[in-house]
């Protein structure tokens, strides 16, 4: 299958012209997916939008919205000599209250980057005398993977594997954004791969109750332009529906089997979104039946007092209230080399995307 | 959100694992989420797991639809954007 | 030599060290200048200027698809010397070995270095060996320093790029970094990608002969081509724009980079050269690269402009222009 057509400049031009021809605005379209943040920045899409269309980045980077206390917990676990902490690469450099996983690794703790939770399982099998903990951060795209890893561990009777679960779920968080008086969102560019799992139904309330249209969008430049175009058409025609642009990757019913696995292993809890606060029902917690694989049940930790960084405006950036270069620290004191908040340090953070791919913030 | 890329299922292995090909790179991944996959399917791969089968028909449908947009430019290799 | 592992005594300056040098190192390197085992090698050297470079190699794993730390250590320094336009002549080697390192592995590395030196036409003429206690050194670290003779009147620099100059690369990008990453625990994937580590002094000499107006060369090692181009842009006060569709990248490297979330422009190379050449000599330079060893996939990938000074841009396959940013910290595989 040749999917390079989704990068085709000729098709992109058709969409850009079609976007130009729409007659609605000013509008603010928000994406809530780190991969969209990067795709938009990397492809220079903001520059080709008509002035009346503003593209906002929301809290779509799961690493960026992980609460300080959760990072502190991962660090406390890493400080136990018997523990090998395994994590996706993005989590390494994110600052907690006092340290980061990368810092702990430099100080001699056993912290390793893995590409997949399966790699963490394999590590546990190879090191029976160590406790392998997987730091699970991500949205609904990743939760089924961790559910599967836990189920596989249970099936094989693995005794030295556990998960520190900091997963969050997206649809209910969108409600908080829709209700936010500081940002008037006209439409949502909805996450492609989260929707591969959950389908389109969980977003319906946005259209029905809030009359905010949403389009489930893919990640290639043509995909993103198509999603934006479909949103603008809805606004122009006064419709508010949940549509799927990312047809080839998302079925309306999503992946039921994957959802069953998540429901088997996890239950919803309230979650603390860094910079936003607690959003009820947007977290996942490992169920009692699988408590054996819950790292904090197995190894309860005492946390130091969580501490927020002074001056950091990641919260406002994550809600779309300000753009990254409006933050007083952007480019001065907060850079990818010396990040202060998660938005600059995560590879999918808004600030990092703006800093890396555009000229903003450069002296 | 989340990086997932299309890969072709080359061999189905035991324990719901499979060997997939991404432009010549082979990796073992899990089919736990899409147990009905067969060899030759294209799947979206995320962190060592297949999330979904990529529907080729839908992909083509989308492309066809996009090409019928009133402003679709026929010339190949056009510089779409003059400046960033 | 009775032990199959390196012991502390092998670095002590005593009889065991003599044994290591005489029975293993010198025969494996097989260089006449080295055989005298004097503290300093006295060597013939053409009149004129000298180019001098040093580098230390700490790559992990030490054996990787297509090569090892030894080959890297020789090729890397040969290439650094050659970027000045000099003819590399002599190499020194300093080893720091960890107690317990397998002698068999050391031999393999020495032979690799010998072969690389022969291929490049340079001589390994002097060296040093130290051994540190177990746990205090990652197996083996190698420092190499190289000298070459620089013809009179030749002055190459990354600060000489001018608006209108073309940017060339000698082959496919990202091979070395991906070959290394494919062996890293937790990221394993199967690929036939091998390191591209190679001596490029012959290629550079050919390019200079065909395009004497070449401004400068640099090898895009750690940080990939984006570090090299950003360095050139800043040093020269020009803007550089690269055409993404012109950049040669093997499919597998592209696939692995996509899977891991890497930017291919930031992935390390060990056997590639970036050259900046005046526009009217670019085709000649390209032909010279393609006719040289390791240059078959060479391409013209972009050009320099007046400004904004110090910036590097990528004109993407999709048709947008974005900044080509430098690697910050360590490259991490991105999934989410």
Task: Tell me the CATH number at C16.
Answer: 3.30.1330.10
Same domain, C181 and C316: yes
DSSP state of A168: B
Q: Does residue B80 have a pLDDT over 60?
A: no
Omega cis (within 30) before C61: yes
Q: Does residue A54 have a pLDDT over 50?
A: yes
Task: Tell me the CATH number at C188.
Answer: 3.90.650.10
CB-CB: which of A47, A138, A258 is closest to B33?
A258
Q: Does residue B83 have a pLDDT over 50?
A: no
Report the pLDDT averaged over residues A8-37: 91
Percent of chain A with pLDDT over 90: 70
A112 and chain C: CB distance < 8 Å anywhere?
yes
Give the per-residue pLDDT at C40: 84
In a domain, C96, yes or no: yes
Report the pLDDT averaged over residues C250-274: 91
Same domain, C91 and C208: no
Lowest mean pLDDT among A203-207, A257-261, A285-289, C219-223: C219-223
Lowest mean pLDDT among A294-303, C98-107, C175-184: C175-184
Chain B neighbours, 3+ Cβ pairs < 8 A: A, C
Q: Does residue C27 have a pLDDT over 90?
A: no
Percent of chain C with pLDDT over 90: 69
Q: How many structural domains comprise chain B? A: 1
Q: Does residue C1 have a pLDDT over 80?
A: no
Give the per-residue pLDDT at B72: 52
- Separation in Å, CA of A302 to nearest CA in chain B: 31
Percent of chain A with pLDDT over 70: 99
Q: C259, C316, C318: which to substitute to probe chain B, counting the most B Cβ within 10 Å?
A: C259
Give the per-residue pLDDT at A165: 97
Read off the pLDDT band of B71 (50, 70, 90): low
Give the per-residue pLDDT at B62: 86
Domain boundary residue, one of C124, C150, C176:
C150
- CA distances (Å), C159 to each of C233, C242, C326, in order? 8, 18, 18
Chain B positions touching chain A (beta carbons under 8 Å) = 1-4, 6, 8, 29-30, 32-35, 42, 44, 46-49, 51-52, 54-56, 58-59, 61-63, 66-67, 69-81, 83-84
Ordered strands of the C299-305 beta sheet:
C216-218, C274-277, C166-169, C299-305, C239-243, C312-315, C321-323
**pLDDT tens column, C133-181:** 998 888 999 999 999 999 998 999 999 999 999 999 999 999 999 999 8
Give the per-residue pLDDT at A151: 97
Q: Does residue C250 have a pLDDT over 80?
A: yes
Of A274, A270, A288, the closest CA to residue A96 belongs to A274
- Please report residues of C whose CB lies closer than 8 A to that of B83: 321
User: Considering only alpha carbons, which residue of chain C is nearest residue A63?
Assistant: C336
Q: How many structural domains comprise chain C? A: 2
What whole-number distance in Å separates Cα of residue A211 and Cα of residue A205?
8
In a domain, C156, yes or no: no
In a domain, A361, yes or no: no
**pLDDT tens column, A159-173:** 999 999 999 999 999
What whole-number distance in Å separates Cα of residue A80 and Cα of residue C287?
59
In a domain, C161, yes or no: no
In a domain, C335, yes or no: no
Task: Tell me the CATH number at A89.
Answer: 3.40.50.11740
Lowest mean pLDDT among B67-71, C6-10, C16-20: B67-71
What whole-number distance in Å separates Cα of residue A114 and Cα of residue C184?
10
Report the pLDDT averaged over residues C56-81: 94
- Please report residues of B whose CB lies closer than 8 A to that of C255: 22-25
In a domain, B12, yes or no: yes
C229-258 b/e with 16+ CB inside 10 Å = b? bbbbbeebebbbbbbbeebbbbebbbbbbb
Range of the domain at A291: 1-356
Domain boundary residue, one of C150, C176, C198:
C150
Per the CB < 8 Å rule, is B1 touching A258?
Answer: no
In a domain, C32, yes or no: yes
Provide the 3-class DSSP secondary structure of residue C114.
helix
Lowest mean pLDDT among A322-331, C312-321, C325-334: C325-334
Give the per-residue pLDDT at A294: 97
Range of the domain at C177: 166-323
Range of the domain at B24: 5-67
Report the pLDDT averaged over residues A196-208: 97
- Please report residues of A whose CB lies closer than 8 A to that of B52: 196, 249-251, 255
Q: Considering only residues C146 and C2, tell me which one the structure prediction assigns the higher pLDDT.
A: C146
- β-sheet bridge partners, residue C64: C67
Same domain, C125 and C198: no
Same domain, C145 and C171: no
Lowest mean pLDDT among A84-93, A332-341, B64-73: B64-73
- Please report residues of A whose CB lies closer than 8 A to that of C319: 9, 12-13
- β-sheet bridge partners, residue C304: C240
Domain boundary residue, one of C150, C176, C197:
C150
- Please report residues of C whose CB lies closer than 8 A to that of B43: none
Q: Does residue B81 have a pLDDT over 70?
A: no
Same domain, C146 and C175: no
In a domain, C158, yes or no: no
Q: Does residue C60 have a pLDDT over 80?
A: yes
Percent of chain C with pLDDT over 70: 96
Per the CB < 8 Å rule, is C336 touching A86?
Answer: no
In a domain, C263, yes or no: yes
Chain C positions touching chain A (beta carbons under 8 Å) = 185-187, 260-261, 308, 311, 316-323, 325, 328-329, 332-336
Question: What is the predicted ipTM?
Answer: 0.90
CB-CB: which of C186, C311, C318 is closest to A12?
C318
Half-sphere exposure of C329 (CA within 13 A, CB side): 17
Per the CB < 8 Å rule, is B27 touching C252?
Answer: no
User: Considering only alpha carbons, which residue of chain B is nearest residue C318?
Assistant: B80
CB-CB: which of C255, C320, C335 is closest to B24?
C255
Task: Tell me the CATH number at B38.
Answer: 2.30.30.140
Read off the pLDDT band of C331 (50, 70, 90): low
- Separation in Å, CA of A301 to nearest CA in chain C: 27
The pair of structure tokens assigned to A11 is 């098709």
In a domain, C140, yes or no: yes
Per the CB < 8 Å rule, is C252 touching B24?
Answer: yes
In a domain, A232, yes or no: yes
* DSSP, residue by residue, A59-87: S--TTTTB-HHHHHHHHHHHTSTTEEEEE
Cβ atoms within 10 Å, residue B15: 10
Give the per-residue pLDDT at A360: 61
């Amino acid at each position: 299958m040749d999917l390079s057509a989704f990068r085709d400049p000729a098709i992109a031009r058709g969409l850009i012209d079609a976007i130009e021809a729409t007659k609605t605005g000013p509008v603010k379209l928000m994406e809530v997916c780190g991969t969209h943040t990067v795709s938009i920045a990397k492809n220079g899409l903001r520059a080709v939008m008509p002035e009346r269309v503003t593209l906002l980045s929301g809290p779509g980077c799961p690493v960026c919205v992980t609460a300080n206390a959760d990072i502190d917990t991962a660090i406390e676990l890493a400080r136990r000599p018997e523990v090998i902490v395994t994590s996706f690469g993005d989590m390494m450099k994110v600052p907690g209250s006092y340290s980061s996983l990368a810092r702990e690794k430099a100080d001699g703790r056993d912290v390793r980057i893995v590409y997949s939770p399966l790699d963490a399982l394999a590590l546990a099998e190879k090191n029976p005398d160590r406790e392998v903990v997987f730091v699970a951060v991500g949205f609904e795209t990743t939760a089924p993977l961790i559910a599967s890893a836990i189920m596989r561990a249970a099936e094989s009777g693995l005794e030295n594997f556990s998960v520190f679960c900091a997963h969050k779920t997206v649809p209910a968080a969108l409600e908080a954004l829709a209700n936010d008086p500081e940002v008037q969102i006209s439409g949502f560019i909805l996450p492609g791969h989260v929707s591969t799992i959950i389908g389109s139904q969980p977003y319906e309330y946005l259209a029905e109750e809030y009359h905010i249209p949403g389009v489930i969008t893919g990640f290639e430049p043509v995909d993103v332009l198509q999603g934006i175009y479909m949103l603008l058409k809805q606004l122009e025609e006064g419709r508010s529906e949940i549509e799927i642009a990312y047809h080839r990757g998302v079925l309306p019913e999503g992946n039921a089997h994957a959802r069953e696995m998540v429901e088997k292993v996890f239950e919803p809890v309230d979650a603390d979104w860094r910079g936003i606060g607690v959003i009820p029902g947007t977290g996942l917690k490992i169920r009692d039946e699988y408590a054996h694989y819950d790292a904090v049940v197995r190894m309860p930790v005492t946390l130091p007092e969580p501490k927020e960084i002074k001056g950091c405006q990641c919260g406002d950036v994550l809600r779309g209230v300000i753009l990254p270069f409006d933050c007083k620290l952007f480019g001065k004191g907060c850079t990818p080399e010396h990040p202060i908040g998660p938005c600059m340090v995560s590879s999918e953070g808004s600030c990092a995307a703006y800093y890396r791919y555009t000229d903003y913030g450069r002296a | 959100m989340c990086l997932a890329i299309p890969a072709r299922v080359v061999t189905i292995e035991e324990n719901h694992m499979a060997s997939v090909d991404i432009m010549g790179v082979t990796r073992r991944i899990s089919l736990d989420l899409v147990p009905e996959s067969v060899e030759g399917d294209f799947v979206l791969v995320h962190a060592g797991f297949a999330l979904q089968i990529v529907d080729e028909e839908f992909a083509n449908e989308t492309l066809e639809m996009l090409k019928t947009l009133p402003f679709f430019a026929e010339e190949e290799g056009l510089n779409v954007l003059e400046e960033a | 030599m009775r032990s199959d592992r390196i012991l502390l005594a092998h670095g002590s300056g005593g009889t065991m060290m003599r044994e290591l040098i005489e029975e293993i190192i010198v025969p494996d390197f097989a260089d006449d200048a080295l055989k005298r085992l004097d503290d300093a090698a006295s060597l013939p050297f053409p009149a004129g200027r000298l180019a001098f470079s040093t580098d230390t190699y700490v790559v992990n794993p030490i054996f990787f698809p297509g090569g090892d730390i030894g080959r890297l250590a020789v090729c890397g320094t040969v290439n650094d010397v050659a970027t000045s336009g000099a003819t590399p002549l002599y190499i020194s080697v300093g080893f720091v070995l960890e107690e317990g390192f397998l002698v068999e592995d050391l031999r393999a590395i020495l032979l690799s270095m010998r072969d690389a030196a022969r291929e490049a036409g340079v001589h390994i003429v002097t060296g040093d060996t130290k051994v540190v206690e177990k746990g205090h050194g990652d197996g083996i670290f190698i420092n190499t320093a190289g000298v070459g003779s620089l013809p009179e009147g030749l002055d190459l620099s990354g600060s000489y790029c001018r608006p209108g100059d073309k940017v060339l690369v000698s082959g496919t990008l990202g091979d070395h970094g991906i070959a290394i990453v494919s062996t890293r625990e937790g990221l394993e994937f199967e690929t036939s990608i091998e390191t591209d580590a190679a001596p490029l002094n012959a290629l550079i000499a050919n390019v200079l002969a065909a395009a004497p107006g070449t401004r400068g060369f640099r090898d895009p090692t750690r940080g990939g081509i984006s570090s090299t181009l950003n360095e050139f842009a800043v040093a020269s006060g020009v803007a550089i724009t690269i055409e993404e569709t012109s950049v040669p990248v093997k499919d597998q490297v592209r696939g692995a980079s996509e899977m891991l979330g890497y930017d291919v422009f930031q992935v390390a190379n060990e056997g590639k050269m970036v050259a900046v050449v005046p526009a009217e000599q670019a085709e000649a330079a390209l032909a010279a690269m393609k006719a040289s060893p390791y240059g078959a996939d060479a391409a013209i990938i972009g050009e320099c402009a007046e400004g904004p000074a110090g910036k590097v841009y990528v004109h993407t396959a999709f048709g947008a222009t974005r900044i080509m940013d430098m690697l910050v910290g360590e490259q991490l595989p991105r999934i989410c």
